[in-house]
Amino acid sequence: EATIGSRFCAFYFDRIEENQWKTISTFLVRPNCEAIRTSPHEFRILFMDQTIITSSTPRETGLLNKFTPFDYIVDDVVGNDTLVGK
């Protein structure tokens, strides 16, 4: 799970799309303790001024986290067992 703060939203808005593979470097890692989460992962990635994102080749996803599309969260069509934290 990655968090892009409001300061960077406009910059990344049209540069990142769901289901695209990206390589992210130079970022912060923090506990993922938000009430609404897109994955059950314990930690999240935070973007910063030095964060670099490049395109990447697709990889097998079977062993990775199961992510929920953001639209499902907004439309409230997903159960809260994965999305709602503590």
Identify the bridge partners of residue 62 per DSSP, sorted by sequence position.
none
Cβ neighbours for 6, distance < 8 A, ≥ 6 positions apart: none
pTM > 0.85: yes or no: no
Q: If you average pLDDT over each of 10-19, 45-54, 56-65, 66-75, which comes out highest?
A: 45-54
Tell me which residue has tokens 């964060």.
51
How confident is the model over 7-55, as pLDDT tens digits? 888 888 888 887 788 888 999 998 988 777 777 788 888 888 999 888 8
Burial of 19 (0-12, 13-18, 19+ CB in 10 A): exposed
